[in-house]
Amino acid sequence: MAGPFEYRQARELAQAFAAQGVRYLFLGKGGAILLGFPDTTQDADVFVEKTRANSQALLTALAALGFELLALQRDEILRGKDFVQIRSGPFDVDLVFAPDGLENFREAEARAVTVEGIRVCSLDDIIRSKEAAGRVKDRETLPRLRAFRDWLRRRES
């Protein structure tokens, strides 16, 4: 099992994605951490635009980073399967083509932010996705994510 996801890994993914023109947004707790949320996570959740060309670029970027994908995983990525877990690389990545609670990539991208060259879903979208997923671990994190969002809003006003 890989250790906790680190900012360095997000930067490596973002750079590899940029080199191939991959359209992506960090999502989940990893995305919130990139926005300053004080926590840790074991993997990166990456919302990827669901097009054949984007999926092909994604495969090239992952290979350049040293991810070794099974034929089944490559096929799932090319098909844009809703959720693809990758545990065969330098760190763990969850590719999400259809996240809970978010209508589509284009609309999420319009609300997204860039943190030091890394594209990240808005905190509201991260919260919305966790609310819609409804998993126990998400329900446990949601009060802290909402408090963090409220703190950011107070700080910005």
CATH class of 7-151: alpha beta
pLDDT the model gives residue 3: 64
Three-state DSSP state, 40 = coil
pLDDT the model gives residue 150: 96
- pTM, two decimal places: 0.94
| Paired sense of beta strands 83-86 and 93-96, if any | antiparallel
pLDDT the model gives residue 1: 43
List, in order, residues 6 or more apart from 104 with CB less than 8 Å away. none
Determine phi and psi for 3, rounding to 5 degrees: -80, -170
pLDDT the model gives residue 20: 98
Q: Where are the domains of the chain?
A: 7-151
Residues constituting the chain: 157
pLDDT the model gives residue 41: 86
The answer to whether 6 and 12 are in contact (CB under 8 A) is: no
pLDDT tens-digit series, residues 19-65: 999 999 999 999 999 999 999 888 899 999 999 999 999 999 999 99
Q: How far is Cα 110 from Cα 45, in angstroms, rounded to an integer? A: 18
pLDDT the model gives residue 2: 54
pLDDT the model gives residue 45: 95
Longest dimension (CA), the chain: 50
Q: Tokens 């819609």 belong to which residue?
A: 132
Question: Within the chain, which residues score under 50 in pLDDT?
Answer: 1
List, in order, residues 6 or more apart from 62 with CB less than 8 Å away. 16, 69, 86, 89, 93
